[in-house]
Structure 1
Amino acid sequence: MKTFIKVTEIWIPDRQRTQLEFGSGLYGALAEFKAASEQQHFAYDEGLPGKAWAQGHPVMLTAFEHSYFKRTAAAKKAGLTCGIAIPIFSGDFLLAVVMFLCGDDEDHAGAIEVWSNHNDAGQLSVMDGYYGTLHHFERLSRQITMPKGQGIPGQVWASGMPILIENIGQPDIFVRGVEAQKAGISTCLGIPITDNGEQVYIMTFLSAKATPLAKRIQIWIPDAQNKSLSCQQGYSKDNNELAQIFETLTIKKGEGALGRVWLTGMPVITGDHDAEYNPELDNLSTMLAIPVIEGGRMKAIVTFLF
């Protein structure tokens, strides 16, 4: 199955916490790019992961040539043309940087956006975005603004929680619904990135049914007693027995991969050969789990199952 995101990486501080080193990654068949990545290190403000660390918010590069991206030649050979770095902070301190790498082609419909109130404290607008070949949808998206509570970015801002919406081709559900339907976009995932009360950054991931972000996307929330995690929302390209499994599954802190994210606040990538892999997910090959942290507390975990 084709997926919109081609490479996923996690970069973590080294022992001195002065540089970022390779943590883990999903590369599919791109073995050469994986080999070029595993030995890399990034200082503060160096390369795409280092820039996200220094700027304290998501950073996007839609062209690698003549940029600060350090793996340009390897990325070009692998057909990768866009990178998005998402820093995960607890207060002032960086825990990790999650990277998504995509490539332009006619067969992959979707978009990744960074929304912020950097131009107007009361309105969100697209600070940066990757839209692949969806040029008309990109022009429209860059022109609109959304107040708190309006549209998916505004709803994420108002709630401080990730939101997953399927079938977004209706204006009453999705402000750009008509244009999304024309572009073939069907699903939107919104994730709050920082807990700075004044400056807001929200990531939105939009994908088509033919080229989803992942086989399954889920949002996990701690219960009121902060004792266990349960799946509050989930989307799957294919309706199968997974939905029923996840509806009844609860996970304790420290238990399996998701419990480890809750315990440490660190994003993880797992596979079916990983000792920390959740056995309940063993019919899926790999998973990325990203924590949503506010005020030093974990509010949710967003998982991408590949």
Structure 2
Amino acid sequence: MSAIMDPATATTRTFVEATEVWVPKDGRLVWSSGNYGALDAFAAVSEEKSFGKGEGLPGKAWDEARPVVLKAFDGSYFQRAEAARAAGLTSAVAVPVFAGSELKAVVVVLCADDDQRTGAIEVWCEANGLLMLDDGYYGAARHFEWVSQHTHFPPGQGLPGGVWAANAPMLMRDLGSGYRFIRADSAGKAGLTTGLGLPIAVPGRQTYVLTLLSARGTPIARRFELWNARSSRSGAASEAALADGICQREGPLWNDEHERRVAAWQGPIGEVLGTGLPLVKYDTALLTAGYASMVALPIYRDGTLAHVVAWYY
């Protein structure tokens, strides 16, 4: 999953080792797309699997209708534990994608634990008018994990609270020095630099926010994009406009004088608009641009596709 165009980042290890998408078919979740880097054996096992409701990690996220963090596979309900152990994978987060009450897909990101990888994948849940940490995976950022466990957010405060108040994805830069990031001091010490926050729509009234916090040395991704979807008269997503974005090499991607748009079925973002499904992509166009893979995730609001969030490895 390393970038191949930029010598400065070519040897950098990413925080996430693999990402996969599971979609419902005939009452089960089946493999739809994924990128596993060099983990060919784990990929082969995964592509042949399927999960019923409540089975394995994808099935649990489906059954409980919420994001699920699994910090250890051994002795757990994770059904690919042996293959994961052989691949060096140690933890995973499953994120269900619902359009109203309809499950569209489950996205699973898998990580490998060591003393070097730092980052955060956090799930925040509303309780008594505040967002509290439901669970998270932090790699080597142990102190930041402790701080997060003892932090809560009202609407509008910090990255999780900002996403909650806006009911929209947000990018936040300079986590270690930005006054808007409530945990700035501990984030700076952990080397965290960029934050992506996503509202996770689930059936019912429960509020969930997913945050991906990226460190310079072991980034979650090297490029982030936020797209606002626009619907046709029929209600289908017909196009999207880039609302925000940042890249390690290029810096800011968004320019209000030159709006970038994509139509449905135009490129990977357009494919997500057209299908309404998340996508993990690996192709020669990405390699030419200097990335090995991308993830594009639809964000639904009131059952309608409202945003597409993409990150590139």
Greater RCO between the two (CA within 8 Å, min separation 6)?
2
**1:5-57 deviations in whole A, cap 9, x for unaligned?**
1000001112x2x1011111100011111111111110100000000000001
For the 8 Å contact 2:244–2:254, the answer to whether it is kept is no
Matching residue of 1:301:
308
Q: Distance in 2 between matches of 1:197 and 1:147?
A: 20
Matching residue of 1:130:
137
Q: Which has the larger displacement, 182-191 or 264-273?
A: 264-273
Q: Distance in 1 between matches of 2:18 and 2:269?
A: 21
Which of 254, 263, 282 in structure 2 is aligned with 1:252? Answer: 263
Note the residue ranges of structure 2 that are not aligned, 5 or more in a row: 1-11
**1:198 Cα deviation from its structure 2 partner:** 2.7
Matching residue of 1:233:
244
Matching residue of 2:15:
4
Output the TM-score relative to the length of structure 2.
0.89
Alignment map for 1:117-196 (pairs within 5 Å): 117=126, 120-170=127-177, 172-194=179-201, 196=203
Q: Distance in 1 between matches of 2:136 and 2:260?
A: 35
Matching residue of 1:287:
294
Distance 1:66 1:227, change over 3 A: closer
**1:82 Cα deviation from its structure 2 partner:** 0.7
Is 1:65 matched up with 2:74? yes
**1:222 Cα deviation from its structure 2 partner:** 2.6
Aligned letter for 2:283?
D
Q: Which has the larger displacement, 190-199 or 142-151?
A: 190-199
Q: Which has the larger displacement, 169-178 or 233-242?
A: 233-242
Is 1:77 matched up with 2:86? yes
Distance 1:72 1:222, change over 3 A: same
Q: Distance in 2 between matches of 1:19 and 1:121?
A: 35
**1:195 Cα deviation from its structure 2 partner:** 5.1
Alignment map for 1:194-205 (pairs within 5 Å): 194=201, 196=203, 198-205=205-212
Q: Distance in 1 between matches of 2:178 and 2:203?
A: 30
Q: Distance in 2 between matches of 1:196 and 1:219?
A: 24
Instruction: Give identity over the alignment, percent.
Output: 41
**1:107 Cα deviation from its structure 2 partner:** 2.1
Q: Distance in 2 between matches of 1:60 and 1:237?
A: 27
Matching residue of 2:37:
28
Q: Distance in 1 between matches of 2:292 and 2:259?
A: 21
Distance 1:281 1:231, change over 3 A: farther
Distance 1:280 1:132, change over 3 A: closer
For the 8 Å contact 2:173–2:195, the answer to whether it is kept is yes
For the 8 Å contact 1:195–1:295, the answer to whether it is kept is no
Distance 1:97 1:176, change over 3 A: same
Task: Give the secondary structure class of the aligned counterpart of 1:172.
Answer: coil
Aligned letter for 2:156?
G
**1:243 Cα deviation from its structure 2 partner:** 6.8
For the 8 Å contact 1:113–1:204, the answer to whether it is kept is yes
Distance 1:152 1:23, change over 3 A: same
**1:137 Cα deviation from its structure 2 partner:** 1.0
Matching residue of 2:8:
none
Output the TM-score relative to the length of structure 1.
0.91
Q: Distance in 2 between matches of 1:178 and 1:224?
A: 41
Aligned letter for 1:183?
A
**1:282 Cα deviation from its structure 2 partner:** 4.6
Q: Distance in 2 between matches of 1:240 and 1:199?
A: 35
Is 1:102 matched up with 2:111? yes
**1:239 Cα deviation from its structure 2 partner:** 2.4
Aligned letter for 1:97?
V
Task: Give the secondary structure class of the aligned counterpart of 1:158.
Answer: helix
**1:228 Cα deviation from its structure 2 partner:** 2.8
Q: Distance in 1 between matches of 2:194 and 2:93?
A: 19
Matching residue of 1:276:
none
**1:124-176 deviations in whole A, cap 9, x for unaligned?**
01000001111111111011111111111000000010001110113622000
Q: Distance in 2 between matches of 1:261 and 1:184?
A: 32
For the 8 Å contact 2:230–2:239, the answer to whether it is kept is yes
Aligned letter for 1:60?
V
Q: Distance in 1 between matches of 2:251 and 2:274?
A: 30
Task: Give the secondary structure class of the aligned counterpart of 1:191.
Answer: strand
